[in-house]
Structure 1
Amino acid sequence: MDATTHGCADRVLISSAVFTGLQDDATPAFIAIQGEHITAVGKREEAGEWIGPQTAVHDLGNGFIMPGVHDNHVFLPAICLCTAV
């Protein structure tokens, strides 16, 4: 998939530390977002292909990015819910 087929991204995130799961370490890369969907993840030097005049570009420097869905809630043990206050 590329921008010529699907248009420019609404938002592009660029970082020197993007973890995609394809390698053991985070690498320089970009993430293109259209609406609420990640449409591309690629090498940092390819980000320009997704950037148009209306694209918001966020260069996060060395900020760590891990694209995907992250659920960070916790289930409390049942004893916490049953204890009288």
Structure 2
Amino acid sequence: TEELPEEIAVEDHESSVTSSVILARLMTELKPAQAEAIRLVKIEGYSVEEASERTGQSGSLIKVNIHRGLARLAAIVQKQADVE
């Protein structure tokens, strides 16, 4: 075995943590069904059909909730960018 040096270079995870916190905060601005559909399909990688089975929403409703939720998120981010 080899002894490891005292200081080992590691990646900085600050931007990932910050992005995760911001995304979580933004998701609270959505209707619960929209947030759940986006979380399942866009973040966790489930198919529309799998998300439909998990939530009880039809596949069409999952798609609508994703579309409307992403549009709402874009509007929120744009509004915040305009203020800054």
| Range class of TM-score, shorter chain | under 0.3
Q: Normalized per residue, which structure has more helix?
A: 2
* Greater share of residues in strand: 1
